[in-house]
Structure 1
Amino acid sequence: MALSSNMRGALFMSLSMAGFTFNDSLVKLVTGDINVAQVMFLRGVVATLLIFLLARHRKALRSLRVLRDPWIGLRVIGEVGGTLTFLVGLTHIPLANASAILQALPLAVTLGAALFLGEPVGWRRWAAIIAGFVGVLIIVRPGLEGFSPFALMIVGTVIFAATRDIATKKIRADIPSLYLSTITAAAVALAGLVLIWPMGGWRPVTASDLGLISLAACLLLVGYQFIIMAMREGEISFIAPFRYTSFIWALLLGMVVFGEYPDAFMITGGVIVIGSGLYTLYRERIKSAAKPATRAAPRHSP
């Protein structure tokens, strides 16, 4: 039986989140042997090559003059900063904790859109945003036993990623997503190359580490492609909540691969963050449904 458009979109979104989370797990395994900058560089090189070949196949490449757009520059900064802070934090805290904090990204994007793009946000969504960030504080637990300053690096990731997503909203619609992905992947690789020596220098890379990094890059591409496919299927308000399946994958992989079992703080905070995000999506759906019907009504010829 054929799946509906919404169900296909939900499946694609779930596969995308699986790709991203399995990629994170492989990176966490490798960072025990080589430094974060090396991972950024090696994974970035493989990812750039793969995305470049796909972009060329789909005729999505554009002139480098397009890069004069300052919003593309801001998007690149957000991507590089988000990648660096996430990998540094992920090296030192459980995978599920990092994933739970990352679930605040939709809330941060909503907040940024309200503050910097002038998008209207009602009191209910403001309450959800505040509740979501309270959930993040519960996970980070500043001042309490079990606090790790590296959890703050993941909070930094949320800020950088929100900056990236907001900048993406301002980029011209005629610039293909694959071209933007190629540019940002290359920028991450270059940043990793520059940071290798400040972060401890080059360490020997075993064949197994290189294989894991290459597989991580392939999974990253899987994540990018399926999220694009998801956004082109069905209603975004139906599909978007399936982003949170990444938290389930992170919990499972953390326990099975790394022996990391969630504590009460992480579970409580994660539930609050995800609940706040789901409520925000629900309010967005209500808001979209309440738009004047006259905007969608067809015009009749006299």
Structure 2
Amino acid sequence: MRGLSGNSLGIILMVLSTACFTINDSLLKLAMHELPPFEALFLRGLGSTFLGLPLLAALGFLKFVPRMLDGRVQIRNLLELTAAMGFVAGLAYVPIADLTALGQTSPLLLLIGAMVFFKEKLTGLQIGLIVLAFAGALLVAQPGASGFSPYTLFGLWSAAAVAARDLVGRKIKLEIPGLVVAVGAGAIEIIGAGLAGLLLESWTMPSPLTLAFAVGSSVFLILAHWLLLNAYRAASVAAVVPFLYMSTIWALISGMLIFGTFPNALALCGIAVIMASGVAVVALERWPKKAVISDGHPL
């Protein structure tokens, strides 16, 4: 995309990534109507790996497959597995709205990590916009209506793992293609979810439709990881972090179109807040250099 600054390109990639993650989650949720959670994760990992390898071959990336064993790639993908397993474990016991709300703490945790480890600088206004986006996400998710459950903390577990995953992912060497990292995440999911499922669940034979949902989830998961990695490589963490909240809007759209759930007035207000904070971040990104979130250079 010629003519775009690093931060602008990163924002576009992040918005597309959150959309693909939501499609992946929606298809996985449909598969979980028939399958236990870890079996569904196992099938998704299986699909990601066996669909990804021919794609790597077609793009001439097979020579990079051994780089899946790179230390940072392994840590990043183990954290991805930790986040996914925490989310589905919580989903078995508490409403998805509560988990979603705690999941929205991930960008704030990521921002804190970027300031501590990468020394990225933020103004008070920029921090305020990110907190405002979080408040909007809470209006959308509206947690706590069903009372507190200790299993809700699985959502915080998942959020912390996602933040750590993205911090590690941003430091993966540029010569390792993002698609290689994404396929590696699928391979680790096969092992982790497979072992958890064998120990904790009674697996069932999926129907052709359910299997199609799991495979479709795999396709969008690969694409989502590839877009996410390239978003962090193109832009500063602070520039793209607010757009992680787009997942809330995509989830609402998915709920309306696929699951027949519709937002109430508070949720609509939350959407407006998220969109307003996102537009403000874009405006700041184009402001004179003294107001720019960070240097905008990829690592």
Asked if the contact 1:104/1:136 (under 8 Å) is kept, the reply is no
Corresponding residue number in structure 2 for 1:83 = 84
Write the distance in 1 (CA, Å) between the matches of 2:74 and 2:231.
26
Deviations 1:116-155 (A, max 9, x none): 333223333343444455556656666x533464654334
Corresponding residue number in structure 2 for 1:67 = 69
SS in 2 for 1:198: helix
Write the distance in 1 (CA, Å) between the matches of 2:243 and 2:137.
20
Corresponding residue number in structure 1 for 2:217 = 216
Asked if the contact 1:35/1:199 (under 8 Å) is kept, the reply is no
Corresponding residue number in structure 1 for 2:95 = 93
Q: TM (normalized to structure 1)?
A: 0.73
Per the TM alignment, residue 187 of structure 1 is displaced from its structure 2 partner at its CA by 0.6
Deviations 1:239-281 (A, max 9, x none): 8876655433321221232222334554555555565565556
Corresponding residue number in structure 1 for 2:30 = 29
Per the TM alignment, residue 5 of structure 1 is displaced from its structure 2 partner at its CA by 5.5
Corresponding residue number in structure 1 for 2:181 = 180
Asked if the contact 2:111/2:237 (under 8 Å) is kept, the reply is no
Q: TM (normalized to structure 2)?
A: 0.74
Deviations 1:61-109 (A, max 9, x none): 436477352x333312221112122334456535x77666655544332
Per the TM alignment, residue 232 of structure 1 is displaced from its structure 2 partner at its CA by 8.9
Write the distance in 2 (CA, Å) between the matches of 1:151 and 1:263.
23
Change (3 A) 1:110 1:42: same
1:190 aligns with 2:196: no
Change (3 A) 1:233 1:173: closer
Asked if the contact 1:241/1:278 (under 8 Å) is kept, the reply is no
User: After the TM superposition, which of the residue ranges 84-93 and 18-27 deviates more from structure 2?
Assistant: 84-93
SS in 1 for 2:34: coil
Corresponding residue number in structure 1 for 2:146 = 146
Q: Percent identity?
A: 26
Corresponding residue number in structure 2 for 1:46 = 47
Deviations 1:191-210 (A, max 9, x none): 11011033322122222211
Q: Which has the larger radius of gyration?
A: 1
Per the TM alignment, residue 110 of structure 1 is displaced from its structure 2 partner at its CA by 1.7
Asked if the contact 1:237/1:282 (under 8 Å) is kept, the reply is no
Asked if the contact 2:73/2:169 (under 8 Å) is kept, the reply is yes
CA RMSD across the alignment: 4.1
Asked if the contact 2:140/2:248 (under 8 Å) is kept, the reply is no
- Counterpart of 2:50, as a letter, is L
Asked if the contact 1:28/1:90 (under 8 Å) is kept, the reply is no
Per the TM alignment, residue 28 of structure 1 is displaced from its structure 2 partner at its CA by 0.9
- Counterpart of 1:197, as a letter, is L
Write the distance in 1 (CA, Å) between the matches of 2:36 and 2:77.
22
Write the distance in 2 (CA, Å) between the matches of 1:59 and 1:173.
16
**Gap runs ≥5 in structure 1:** 297-302
1:107 aligns with 2:108: yes
Per the TM alignment, residue 38 of structure 1 is displaced from its structure 2 partner at its CA by 0.5
Corresponding residue number in structure 2 for 1:204 = 205
- Counterpart of 2:145, as a letter, is E
Change (3 A) 1:148 1:36: farther
Write the distance in 2 (CA, Å) between the matches of 1:129 and 1:221.
27
